[in-house]
A and B are shown apart, each in its own frame.
Chain A
Amino acid sequence: MDWFKRKKEALKPVEKKELPDGLWIKCDNCGEIIYKKELEKKLYVCPKCDFHFRIGSDIYISILFDKGTFTEFNQSMKAADPLNFKDSRKYSDKYKATVKKTGMNEAVVTGTGQIEKHKVVMALMDFKFLGGSMGSVVGEKISRAIDLALENKQPMLILSSSGGARMHEGILSLMQMAKTSAKLARLAEHKIPYISILTNPTTGGTTASYAMLGDVHIAEPGALIGFAGPRVIKQTIGQDLPPGFQRSEFVQDHGFIDIIVHRHELKQRIASLLDFFAHQNNVA
């Protein structure tokens, strides 16, 4: 049982590397220290383990859209705090602070643009704005984007990155699920393609509405995708969750994700889907 004994030599504590702020980033998954410029070039995917870092809507726009083609609309729309909500602090204060911190007005960016020359309407959620939570503004901006896709007869894309509905707007947040789903239902009647892209995380009311209503569901690898959060489930059932539970691969295995696409291929694969839907089978 020699191997069982503790070796005399104590484990050396890993030397703390002084990382110049902003120059190096440590991979959340494998711990690899990555040069930030390198990570940027790799679209924020760890070169060692393929871990997909969470990125903002601005980076997704630069990844997906042909250069300079994306035009945002309804950019200035902001939450109105209809409930005058307050927990330990006021929702309106928290909101203001978030706007200041993120430089964004809400948790979704909507706009038009071109993906490999395909004109599309797209909504991109952003987790850094109050956890990508869906309140009235998110619901309204997405609804208007869907309306525009219908009007322009252009494919609709929604990229989700969201913890779910925003509690601070109570029932109004919940109703955004019904609103956006209703708009998508009408879009579907007009046979306009809708592609849902699910990134880490997509949970709660976001998953239980537009994220799960696509003609095609694309997920990034390893993204948390589900209805109830893992902590809530664990508390409810009082047992540990199986490994990989609610990750993209698990959700695909259970039949709710069509394709898992590496971020490096995301634009190309979406463009191919758009090619497919746009193709007319003409009889000679």
Chain B
Amino acid sequence: MALKTQKFVLEFERPVVELEEKIHEMREYALSSGLELDDDIKRLEKKAGQLRKEIYSNLTRWQRVQLARHPLRPYTLDYIGHMCSYFEELHGDRHFADDRAIVSGLAQLDEFSVIIIGQQKGRGTKDNLYRNFGMPNPEGYRKALRVMDLAVKFDKPIITLIDTPGAYPGIGAEERGQAEAIARNLFRMARMPVPLINVIIGEGASGGALGIGVGDRILMLENSWYSVISPEGCAAILWRDAAKAPEAAEAMKVSAPDLLELGIVDEIIKEPEGGAHHNTEQAAQIVKEAILRHLRELMQIPRRELLEQRLDKYSKMGSWKE
């Protein structure tokens, strides 16, 4: 897979991307000149594969954070587009506004009709402004809640896709009760009598992520991050220097393997080699398979038991000494 078109390259991706570009050039040259370069190309491809493996199997937490923020990384609507045979977006919280940082709607996921909700980032400046960089306001959480209530009413499972740099810290957001909106969702999601699956697809920043992140299963993409605050936020407070974000990411243990070890997530979803942005379609397929596998399991559980298990799951979270 040549990345000739990849406009944005992370520092640690560079060696692979450069090699892939070289291979691409050689192919074109072979084609135009009629020279037999197959052996050389094969050799380089092998090398690129090894290099990729080497780089991606030794990622630091901070590198994963960077991948989670990669501007070419698939976002909620990309996943929905690839995973669902039907999607009808429902807009607005029926109180104040339609928050474009959260999309929600009715969807068909293979044999299941489901409700899907996720934070949506934008691609490019204009789109990002439209989506408020994936930072929801209270009306976004309230929209999510009222659509989830539809799921409960019509007995549909709920899938949430989490990808946010945080709930928006603005004057209006405070005036309209950002904290109350998030708290209300935690309170309600804990007891909704339908299967609830949360997938962290990119950034899971704090309460802004958790606001649509309570469920029976928490799945996490390999190169996503999830923590109580962003590495920059933590660094600014504890190190008094936001530039110490890489250290903060390490200290807070924000990666998917960390969260699996800490007993927070149920499964790490493997990404296509080179990260989800390397092959959106494949990434979506893998995510879909994981969701369906868990959904089929959860659908078997009597609803009353499901709620007990959910409460039990959260009761166990944490670490203390007595």
Contact = CB atoms under 8 A, between A and B. Distances in A.
Interface of A: 74, 76-80, 82-83, 85-88, 135-137, 139-140, 143, 165-167, 169-179, 181-186, 188-189, 204-205, 207-213, 226-228, 232-233, 236-237, 241-242, 245-246, 254-256
Contacts of B248: 87
A201 B184 CA distance: 20
B246 to A, nearest CB: 13
Contacts of B108: none
25 contacts: A78-B321, A78-B322, A82-B319, A87-B247, A136-B318, A136-B320, A137-B318, A167-B228, A167-B234, A170-B228, A171-B258, A172-B264, A175-B264, A182-B186, A186-B190, A208-B179, A208-B207, A213-B187, A226-B179, A236-B169, A237-B169, A245-B171, A245-B174, A256-B177, A256-B180
A171 B264 contact: yes
Interface of B is mostly: helix
Interface string B94-120: 000000000000000000000000000
A165 B228 contact: yes
B251 A86 contact: yes
Nearest to A241: B171
B252 A85 contact: yes
Contacts of B182: 208-209, 227
Interface of B: 167-171, 173-180, 182-184, 186-188, 190-191, 206-207, 210-211, 213-214, 226-229, 233-234, 237-239, 247-248, 251-254, 258-259, 262, 264, 310-311, 314-315, 317-322
Contacts of A74: 322
A227 B259 CA distance: 25
A184 B264 contact: no
Contact of B318 (A176, A188, A211): A176
Most interface-central of B168, B207, B321 (chain A CB within 10 A): B207
Given A178-B210, A179-B314, A185-B191, A169 B228 contact: yes
Contact of B253 (A87, A136, A170): A170
B170 A233 contact: yes
B317 A179 contact: yes
A228 B187 contact: no
A160 to B, nearest CB: 11
Contacts of B253: 83, 170-171
A181 B228 CA distance: 16
Given A77-B321, A178-B186, A236 B178 contact: no
